[in-house]
Amino acid sequence: MTLWQRVVQANRPGPPEHSVPFRVASTAAVVVAIGACWSQGELSAPYSLFAAAATIGGNVMSYRRRSAPWAVVKPILAACAIGGFVWFIARVSHTATPGDISTVEGPLAVLFAWVLCTHAFDVPARRDVAYSLAGSAALMAVAAAQSVDLTLGIYVVAWVVCGVGGLVAMWQSMSGTRGVPWLTLGVAGVAVAVVAVLLVAVLPAPTVSTSLIFPSSSANSAPVDTPSNLTDGSPSLPAHEASPSGRTGVGGYLGFAKSLDTGVRASLGNQTIMRVRATAPSYWVGQTYDTWDGESWTSTPVNGRGVVKLETGSPFDISLSNDQEALASTGSTDVQTFYLAQSGPNLVFHADNAQRVYVQSRSLYLTGDGTIVSAASMGAGTVYTVVSDDTTASPQQLRDATTPLPATYPDTLTQLPAAEEARYTQLPHAYPQVQVLARKITAGIGSPGDDDPFTYDKVEAIERWMASNVTYTTDIPPLPAGADAVDSFLFGTRRGYCEQISTATVVMLRSLGIASRETVGYVPGPYDPITDLYDVQAKDAHAWVQVWFPGYGWQNFDPTADVPLANPSPGSVLATTAGHTLAHLPWVPIGIVVVAAGLFVEVRRRRLRRPATWAHQVAEDLERGGLRIGRRRRVDETLTAYGERLAVADPLDAEGLLWTTRMVERCTYGGVEPSAEQIASALTFTRHFRGRHPRPTAPAHGDQGADTASASSKEAPAASSGR
């Protein structure tokens, strides 16, 4: 056979596929996959509508012409497919970034949708319909590659329903049956679910590649005229200055603005603000503050270095801030990608020591303390990536960095410049009570003297004291006018939330001469093992403390929150979630319901399995007893013939077997109703025969003779008298 003949044979259409459900399920699967790609922004709305309409129209035409397809259709479709591939190659050659697969996924979704909707015009046979069903899986995979939340799950469920329905319809068409194999589907579904859970459970913790540049987009953005305008987002978000005259009466969260006023009170919800994929969970910094006035924090420029405008375009290289200039790059690379779910402030959140920022913005503003501000507002749908130099150190490393060392100490570890040290130990006035309390808490650490180091041990002691002696709550009264927030908190109720606790910690550290600052941003929210993302909610907005350590720079401390050291594995998250859910279930009511349901099912099962009449019970007992002695009843064997065969195999029970089977035969076919005593005697005999218990005494011959006589005379009432 020549090569051309092989090609012709391979492309010869098979028998026409007449199953309408199979075609409908296959078409629906492709349409759902197109919708999934549209939901992830990989297909435009007009193109998605065109592809869906073409898929439906093409399948309708193919069904009508399934027995006699038009020959001209194949060359036209081949030309369309080649044109699609040419467009894809040209598009990728001009727009794709080497090493960045995300720049290929959009054009790939367009190509797959184009191939499937053109293929829909030529699906006469079963294999062609099956190809459409299988091809929809490729579109779903492309959509899943860009999914960052669980909204895709709706499309996945719909696609699975269409896929399973299509496979069942194809099986029905192949086998010529109409029934649905519910048992097989149920067992297969459970098996797939178990395997999926096991696979997720054994997956390792996710790792973020440092060789890929994640996609950057800025949806619904607008220019920002000044870097001090940090509140360009939605008014419903915790990103605006609070006012006691506002709707809440006490103001809102003042975390992302020009100042941080501890006199207002927090009011945060559970809405998801953003989702983050990161090399490791971290405190994601938004702003830092250095100047404290007794009620509010502000950030001030130092040494003439205010706001620097970066206009290099993405990626932006972030220069070292004033307090980082003497710090060498000793950390590990930390890549974070932020997916904004809500419009928010134009702050670029990041892990400590940001090095590069990939964001769609003409320029960035960089303040002297390292705060990064985009020149465009951050609308919902914005995606940006930050690469940081993670210098997080272990407790022992920090302890060694601030414990008195030999004379080489100044040369081995970088120090904070004098001007910066004065900036981060500033206090508006003397805090004698605070200083006494701080010295009392850190008593016994190191030797006496204000210039004594041991910074880490002192910070740890104050952090432990805060965790043990203050109450975290947002239910606190407003700060009285003119009162000092730290004095009111430490020597008043000692009730507050992150702003009050972190501010009091910074003031206590500064009273000991330890350089520290107030920092606001977000802590990681709950981890989603399906998307490998942290769902950061509004309530995860946080304020914490940063302390300077020689050689390591700013390190995070927080007595009210705990950030894990590494990304969790999906299995550990599922186990923790399952354990938490199980621990909070009302087990007593559930147990009562389960027991009641079990009893109901068992009673119903027994009723359904109970023989309809005493004659059926007798036949069932004899068959089960016959199995025990190796005599199975044949399908075409009457009960009387079966009883005679059992009598031969078991001579001791022969008389009872013959009497019982003949009585059933006379009742069933002769209309002679036995008495209640005879029925009870027959049931007792067959029950013992079934279980091979000690055999009861066979009925007397007189009973048999009387029964026979009554049967021969057709006297049913006499036969029921039980003589």
- Residue 130 contacts residue 29 (beta carbons within 8 Å): no
Cα–Cα–Cα angle for 585, 587, 592, rounded to 5 degrees? 135
* Structure confidence at residue 573 (pLDDT): 79
C-alpha distances in Å from residue 496, one per residue of 245, 460, 518: 22, 20, 16
169-179: average pLDDT: 86
Parallel, antiparallel, or unpaired: how do β-strands 516-522 and 284-289 relate?
antiparallel
pTM above 0.95, yes or no: no
* Structure confidence at residue 11 (pLDDT): 66
Helix ranges, 176-306 (H)? 182-202
Q: Output the six-digit token pair for 623.
A: 């068959």
Distance CA 282, CA 350 (A): 9
548: exposed, middle or buried (C-beta count within 10 Å: 0-12, 13-18, 19+)? Answer: buried
- Model confidence over 92-107: pLDDT tens digits? 888 776 656 667 888 8
108-118: average pLDDT: 92
- Residue 333 contacts residue 360 (beta carbons within 8 Å): no
354-359: average pLDDT: 89
DSSP designation for 373? E
Q: Which secondary structure element, helix H or strand E, spans residue 500, and what is its range?
A: helix 498-511
**216-568, which class in CATH?**
alpha beta
- Model confidence over 211-255: pLDDT tens digits? 555 556 666 666 665 555 454 344 444 444 444 344 333 333 334
* Structure confidence at residue 371 (pLDDT): 86
Model confidence band, residue 3 (pLDDT cutoffs 50, 70, 90): confident
Distance CA 353, CA 564 (A): 19
Q: Output the six-digit token pair for 252.
A: 């809102």
48 has pLDDT over 90: yes
Sign of CA pseudo-dihedral 341, 346, 350, 355: positive
Distance CA 278, CA 255 (A): 23
- Residue 377 contacts residue 577 (beta carbons within 8 Å): no
Please count the CA atoms within 13 angstroms of the CA of 519 that sit on its side-chain side: 27
Looking at the DSSP assignment, which residues form a beta bridge with residue 390?
332
Rg, C-alpha atoms of the chain: 40
CA dihedral (423, 427, 433, 437) in degrees, to 10, reads -20
Helix ranges, 69-181 (H)? 73-95, 102-119, 126-145, 152-175
Residue 288: which of 553, 563, 539, 561 has the closest Cα?
A: 553
Residue 48 backbone dihedrals phi, psi, to 5 degrees: -65, -45
* Structure confidence at residue 324 (pLDDT): 62
Domain regions of the chain by residue span: 15-180, 216-568, 611-719
28-32: average pLDDT: 95
52 has pLDDT over 90: yes
Please count the CA atoms within 13 angstroms of the CA of 118 that sit on its side-chain side: 19
326 has pLDDT over 80: no
SS3 of the chain: helix, strand, coil, percent, to 5: 45, 15, 40
The least confident of 171-185, 206-220, 364-378 is 206-220
505 has pLDDT over 90: yes
How many Å from the N-terminal Cα to the C-terminal Cα in the chain? 90
- Model confidence over 69-78: pLDDT tens digits? 887 888 898 8
Looking at the DSSP assignment, which residues form a beta bridge with residue 521?
285, 542
- Residue 425 contacts residue 515 (beta carbons within 8 Å): yes
For a pLDDT cut of 90, what percent of the chain falls above it?
A: 25
Distance CA 13, CA 26 (A): 18
Q: Which amino acid is at 192?
A: V
Cα–Cα–Cα angle for 224, 226, 231, rounded to 5 degrees? 65
Model confidence band, residue 342 (pLDDT cutoffs 50, 70, 90): confident
- Residue 542 contacts residue 522 (beta carbons within 8 Å): yes
Residue with tokens 């030309």: 79
Highest mean pLDDT (candidates 197-206, 228-237, 317-326, 404-413): 197-206
* Structure confidence at residue 218 (pLDDT): 66
Residue 332 backbone dihedrals phi, psi, to 5 degrees: -110, 160
315-326: average pLDDT: 72
420 Rama sector, left if φ>0, alpha if ψ -120 to 50, beta otherwise:
alpha
* Structure confidence at residue 110 (pLDDT): 92
Distance CA 537, CA 525 (A): 6
- Residue 278 contacts residue 395 (beta carbons within 8 Å): no
Q: Looking at 437-531, which runs of residues are DSSP E strands?
A: 471-472, 495-496, 516-522, 527-528
